[in-house]
Amino acid sequence: MFRFENPEILFLLFIIPIFVVIFLYISIRRKKILNQYASSNILESLLIEYSPTKSIVKFSLWVLILASMIIALANPQIGSKIEKVKREGIEIIFTVDVSNSMLSNDIPPNRLERTKSMLNKLIDGLISDKVGLVVFAGDAFLQVPLTTDYSAAKLMISAINTDLIGLQGTAIGQALELSINSFSKNSSVSKVVLLISDGENHEDDAVQIAKVAAKQGIQIYAIGMGTPNGGPIPLDNNSFLRDPDGNVVVSKLSAELLKEIADEGKGKFIYGSAKFTDIEAFLNDVAKLDKKELEDLVYTDYDSKYYIFLWIALFLILLDFLILEKRSPLLSKLSIFGSEK
């Protein structure tokens, strides 16, 4: 198991492209200024000891040094010890629609991004419950088996996109069936499916499968993503999906289907376009369910590997010291690029 002890520090890596842009700007501007005062032939004779290639190499080295130092500060770690941990909780499967209609922005920034944000907040509200993730469109796939590793679950949630399932459609019934089969065989543990979809263009008898789930003691909550007025479905080429007649397709929330699924699944229907207080109601319901003892394998000890990147940074600093930006008769033999003009 690999992780960063301080993952927030990795955001500092975003300053590297800024440094690159500044370096390129200064280099281009310096060249323009020099060309105003002398021709290229004269400049070459005047700056015979200066090597633009070395300047670029040295800058690249310092970019790598900075990146290595940032990664070292984030402290990469590798799990070295696994133990069985027992805790009390329930099992929750997040069943998420990743069909193209979830890209509609009638719920800003769009339905899928709102779903991901919602799931992260939901996980933050859990304590010792097991969570899993099923994604579906025209087909369904178990993305995350039941786990108490919330960090790993959130990482996989952040990677959700409409390309995960190649077959388009809304196979809610198939997704519910896969979710039901993804729970543990422990009949005493409370089990909940949280279905998140716009409910549009469903292709199977999801309501009947919800009835089957209820008979097995599995509750189904449904969150409807979208609005009654709906919105267009954006494409990669900055246009919108159109029907065979050339009209822009408007994707609308099919709330009635989702409400029926939730009713038959002995759960509740929640509007995803509403405030998060409605989601808090789901957490309150979950908190009232019977908590049973769960057993999970977790990493309880990690080995820090920050020193590897510190050694890399030190090596690059020494390498930078040996690369001379100007030629030197005395040190040219030590300089890796000493003979370059």
* Residue bearing tokens 């679950």: 153
What pLDDT is recorded for position 335? 47
What are the chain's domains?
2-75+305-322 (no CATH), 82-296 (3.40.50.410)
pLDDT by residue (tens digit) across 12-54? 999 999 999 999 998 888 777 766 665 555 555 555 555 667 7
* 3-state secondary structure at position 220: strand
- Encode 1-27 in three state secondary structure: CEEECCHHHHHHHHHHHHHHHHHHHHH
Helices (H), the chain: 15-37, 40-46, 52-74, 111-124, 150-158, 172-181, 206-215, 255-264, 277-288, 306-322
Question: If you ran DSSP here, which 8-state letter would residue 247 be given?
Answer: P
What's the mean pLDDT in 64-82?
Answer: 87
pLDDT by residue (tens digit) across 185-227? 888 889 999 999 998 866 678 999 999 999 999 999 999 999 9
pLDDT by residue (tens digit) across 296-336? 555 556 788 999 999 999 999 999 888 765 555 544 444 44
* 195 vs 257: CA distance, rounded Å: 12
Question: If you ran DSSP here, which 8-state letter would residue 159 be given?
Answer: T
* 275 vs 320: CA distance, rounded Å: 54
Cβ(171)–Cβ(138) under 8 Å?
yes
pLDDT by residue (tens digit) across 329-339? 544 444 444 44
* 276 vs 272: CA distance, rounded Å: 8
